[in-house]
Amino acid sequence: MTQPSPTSGGASSDRTGRFVTQPNGHVTPLSPHIGIWRWHVTMAASILFRATIIAATVGALIVVAWLGALAFGPDAYAAALALAGSPLGLFVGFGLTVVLFSFILNGTRHTINDTGNGLTIKSSTILSRIAVWAPVPLAILFWVVLFAVGRVSL
Amino acid sequence: MSGQVKGNGARFKNNVKISERHGAGEWLAERVLLVVVLPLGLWVASTAFTLTGAGYDAVQDWFANRLNAGLLALTAVVFFGYVSVAWKVILEDYVPQPGTRKALVALLNLVFLVLAAASVFFIVRMALGSAPLPAGFGA
């Protein structure tokens, strides 16, 4: 089987960096994605979903600890509640709600795309923007209402 | 389902090569689990709002409702099932050594199994109004 000659087409005189010498000595055109790639929000949404799953796993550990504190009785639960009500606890709690909303929205985006929908450039961009940005205002709203109704206080 | 086998062991169905391994099943499992987790996630958000800052008695009343306890147990099992598959995908992407990868996947599966079992155990005790732990375990 004959390979197309990698050196044909002016590779030897190329000065643009579009050709690379492979470890086996062949001179081949540089894969075009480096030259035409640019950042897009769909990439951020994809990476953030993985980060969200990892963070949600940590969040699940905290929830299981909360369940354990409940099962160990009122004293253990009071200690857990005091920890959750401390400034650090509230900060972690805020982070957990960001993760929860991120999981719901990004998971919805993933499911929509997996069923073959929302894959035009415009709609995938909109879905990704929602998944990336909306968790933060939703979590802020969540906690503003909690503080407003007096359920939590500093 | 029986695909005809050709020369090198690859299986074909209607002359289309079908998966040699089990990736398609895992992909489908991940999607189905996620579709189940998402509505439960909304319910978890509303539950978190209800129970934030609640005292022990209020939380106990919440668990006494069988629907709440049942949905929470379902959420725990389905969620840990989903993250088990999701972590496997992540590890497959970032851990190139097959031995290390298999060991990590097995370890995480064990951890998630223990966490799901512990969640259901705690939830059932709360739902039944059992005496605080370690009652029943030598105390």
Give one DSSP letter per residue of chain A, joined into a string: -PPPPTTTTTTTT--SS-EEE-TTS-EEEPPTHHHH----HHHHHHHHHHHHHHHHHHHHHHHHHHHHHHHT-HHHHHHHHHHHHSHHHHHHHHHHHHHHHHHHHHHHHHHHHHTT-S-SHHHHHHHHHHHHHTHHHHHHHHHHHHHHTTSS--
Whole-structure pTM value: 0.82
A24 to chain B, minimum CA–CA distance in Å?
Answer: 23
d(CA A20, CA A31): 9
Nearest CA to B37 out of A106, A118, A97 is that of: A106
**Disruptive mutation site among B42, B44, B50, B56 for chain A (greatest number of A CBs within 10 Å):** B56
- For A12-39, write each residue's pLDDT tens digit: 666 666 777 888 888 887 776 666 777 8
Whether B28 contacts chain A with CB within 8 A: no
Q: Using CB atoms, which residue from A74, A104, A146 is nearest to B52?
A: A146
Looking at residue B123, its pLDDT comes to 97
Q: Using CB atoms, which residue from A53, A93, A107 is nearest to B38?
A: A107
- For B32-75, write each residue's pLDDT tens digit: 999 999 999 999 999 999 999 899 999 999 999 999 999 999 99
Average pLDDT, chain A: 88
Q: What is the mean pLDDT of residues A80-90?
A: 95
**Disruptive mutation site among B52, B80, B91 for chain A (greatest number of A CBs within 10 Å):** B52
